[in-house]
Amino acid sequence: MRWASVACAAGLLLALGLARYCSKRADAAARSALVAALPRNFPAPVYAPVPAREAFELGRQLFYDRRLAHDGTVSCASCHRQATAFASPERISPGVGGRRGRRNAPALQNLRWKHTFFADGGPKNLETLPLAPLTNPLEMGATLPSVLAKLNADPVYVRQFARAYGPGPITSYQLLRALAQFTAALISASSRYDRYVRHEAGGTLTAQELRGRALLQRKCSSCHATDLFTDDSFRNNGLSRSFPLDSGRVAITFLPADRGRFKVPSLRNCALTAPYMHDGRFATLAQVLAHYDHGLVDSPTLDPVLRQPNGRLGIPLTAKEQRELLAFLRTLTDSAFCRAPGLAAP
């Protein structure tokens, strides 16, 4: 026991010394590693800045820190849980004081590839986005000055921010940018499907999964497109006749054509991210497929893709096709991402 801890401490000291000694090099190496890590099967990212290691680690710490909330009870990770690809397993997850909004907390993954965020595309910038949850009274209920005062009173944070951004009081720009360096680094691209398309070890799909893939390409990829499994557009997929509780994109654009249109979510990790849709109305993927097969309701902005030539709505799927689709969707699960120690609470 004692020897083990001595050896551990020695190892740690050595590691720390080495880390300091090599910090310049490591920084450069981390940068190039992150560039090289861009998945070959993805299109070009929208958000170009490459996270630097120091800022990423700082962002990670902030992401898991409940003290950022007004009453110290809620962190980003309270709603965005790593085990479920940073989505919430609850339909609507509570913010400070148990208050609840109206949307399901989605997976946080591959955000560098998005032009807009949220189900209605309100935020356009990954770096200013954290302002929304930090100050939303239903989420973390804080104000920027109060968060900055807390951080500036904490010598550990002051030191860490100085290492990432240079000396001086911590600013709101630094806080938001650090959080964005963590969220930008949440890249999920090592599912079995990814290994299959990149011809990597372990990348085999069964005949059933391959039939599911072909079905998805034929019936779903006009919206769930590319290897990101979304075209980042807003569509009405037939959930409601009039969208009384949440009308989606129209709240941002005020265009009647956008009523009931919501961001097409990625299907990556969807076997883990129940419940589904902007309001978390479906508890299982089987229910989602049943919706596409026979649950759609009509409205003026329903996506034309979901109108069949015979006047019926939806995407007809036999029981066998549904099993094949489900089998394929499960190949998009990236367990390495959901368990990566480097993305877990520090």
Q: Which residues bind ligand HEC (CB under 6 A)?
A: 74, 76, 78-80, 93, 95, 101, 103, 105-106, 108, 111, 114, 117-119, 129-130, 133-134, 139-140, 179, 183, 219-220, 222-224, 235, 237, 239, 262, 264-265, 267, 270, 273, 276-278, 285, 288, 292, 303, 305-306, 315, 325
> Please, which residue, 26 or 295, has the CB nearer to ligand HEC?
295
Please identify, using beta-carbon distances, which residue of 190 and 240 lies nearer to ligand HEC.
Answer: 240
**Least gap, CB of 281 to ligand HEC (angstroms):** 8
Pick 23 or 125: Cβ nearer ligand HEC = 125
In whole angstroms, give the CA distance from residue 64 to residue 46: 26
Find the shortest distance in angstroms from Cβ 93 to ligand HEC: 5
**Shortest distance (Å) from residue 65 CB to ligand HEC:** 9
Nearer to ligand HEC, 66 or 195 (CB): 66
Which helix (H) or strand (E) is 235 found in, with range?
A: strand 234-235
**Sole residue written with tokens 């893939």:** 213
Q: Find, among 300, 211, 305, the residue nearest to 264 by Cα.
A: 305
> Measured from the CB of residue 44, what is the shortest distance to ligand HEC in angstroms?
18
CA-closest candidate to residue 142, choices 52, 76, 90, 201: 76
Name residues whose C-beta falls within 8 Å of residue 230's C-beta, 6 or more positions apart in sequence: 223, 224, 263, 264, 265, 266, 267
Task: Using the minimum distance from each CB to ligand HEC, give the nearer residue, 80 or 192.
Answer: 80
- C-alpha dihedral over 277, 278, 279, 284, to 10 degrees? 20
Nearer to ligand HEC, 53 or 91 (CB): 91
Residue placing its CB nearer to ligand HEC in the complex, 39 or 265: 265
Q: Which residues contact 36 (CB under 8 A, 6 or more apart)?
A: none
Instruction: Dig out the tokens for 328 from the structure.
Output: 């394929």
Output the smallest distance, CB 150 to ligand HEC, in A.
Answer: 14
Shortest distance in whole angstroms from residue 315 CB to ligand HEC = 5
Minimum Å distance from CB 10 to ligand HEC? Answer: 37
Q: Give the up-direction half-sphere exposure of residue 23: CA atoms within 13 A in the CB hemisphere.
A: 8
| 3 state SS of 187 | coil
Q: Is the link from the previous residue into 123 a cis peptide, with omega within 30 of 0? A: no
> Which residue in 47, 328, 87 sits closest to 215, CA to CA?
328
